[in-house]
Amino acid sequence: MLLRVALIVSVASLASCKSNTPVETQPAAGQAASSTLTLLAPESREWTKAEALAALSDVSLASSAAVRLVELSDYTPACIPAELSDDLIRKLRVLPIGTFGWLLGIGDEDDMRLVRAPALIDVTGGLGPFDGELDEELLAVRVSDDTDIYPHVVLLPDRVLLLEEVLVPALAMSNREHVRFAFRYRNGFPYVGLVLLSDANAEVALYRWDPYELMFLGPAADKLPEPPGGHFALDLETSTRLVPVGGQMPEPDPIQPPVDPNQVPDWTRPRGLELT
């Protein structure tokens, strides 16, 4: 009998100890998520809009400041997912872009001046799309460090624009079934290339910026290699910053036959007047 009582007391004591011991190896889901986010400045969660705006100029605090401005905004950019992580914070990049403010986007691994899926932070700290008419998820912007040499270039798969006082259409595809525009580099200098959709390393055309003419030099049309075959062509009406060089020149407009003056309708000259 005494042995049975002793066993009951021992089991009860063990149960009591187990229930009072905190479980350190199974944190709550929210705590687990927050423990993986260590790269944001702890004080940034309390920053006002003005404080976050001031911190944008500090390279070490720029990402924290941008994330805080997102929290204070009604707009959620494509580059900021619902759940943040240190891996994402490492990829975020904030680039000043003159009087426009700053760009917040996913930084390119090889080009420190290039961001993808960017949002615009204006000089007041307001956050919004880079341009509401452009597909933000497909957008890439390269911010120039000297616009006298190379402009701010905005790139989409089917067109290239320049950021001057406003967005200026520079290059546009009319036939892009197998190709897309891409940022490329040669000897450390950027240019715009046309690459195959099936192979980003297969460059089929090069568009070099001429800082004196303020134009891109490159082909307006050309054949594509086999496979896929076919050809590409730029829309010359909307490619306002293209000087066609190389490749195939587009077919000229058909020449209209001269008008016979005697066939001009009567309403263009006085009645009874015959031309000889």
C-beta neighbour count of 67 within 10 angstroms: 24
What whole-number distance in Å separates Cα of residue 148 and Cα of residue 170?
A: 17
- Are 107 and 113 contacting, i.e. CB atoms less than 8 angstroms apart? no
What whole-number distance in Å separates Cα of residue 171 and Cα of residue 159?
A: 5
Mean pLDDT computed over every residue of the chain? 84
Give the residue among 213, 135, 132 at the shortest CA–CA distance from 180: 135
Residue 24 has pLDDT above 80, yes or no: no
DSSP 8-class letter at 53: H
Question: pLDDT tens digits, residue range 105-128?
Answer: 999 999 999 999 999 999 999 999
Model confidence band, residue 172 (pLDDT cutoffs 50, 70, 90): very high
Strand order across the 199-210 sheet: 179-186, 189-196, 199-210, 215-218, 242-244
| Residue 132, token pair as written in the block | 């509401």
Cα dihedral across residues 198, 201, 205, 206: positive or negative: positive
Torsion of CA 139, 95, 112, 208, to 10 degrees: 60
The answer for 69, left when phi > 0, alpha when psi is -120 to 50, beta otherwise, is alpha
Give the DSSP H or E segment for 190.
strand 189-196
- Are 217 and 245 contacting, i.e. CB atoms less than 8 angstroms apart? yes
Over range 153-166, report the average pLDDT. 96
pLDDT above 90: percentage of residues in the chain: 70
Give how far the C-alpha of residue 118 lies from the chain's centroid of Cα atoms, to the nearest Å: 5
Task: Identify the pLDDT of residue 274.
Answer: 53
pTM: 0.76
Question: pLDDT tens digits, residue range 218-247?
Answer: 999 999 998 888 899 999 999 999 999 998
| Residue 273, token pair as written in the block | 């007047």
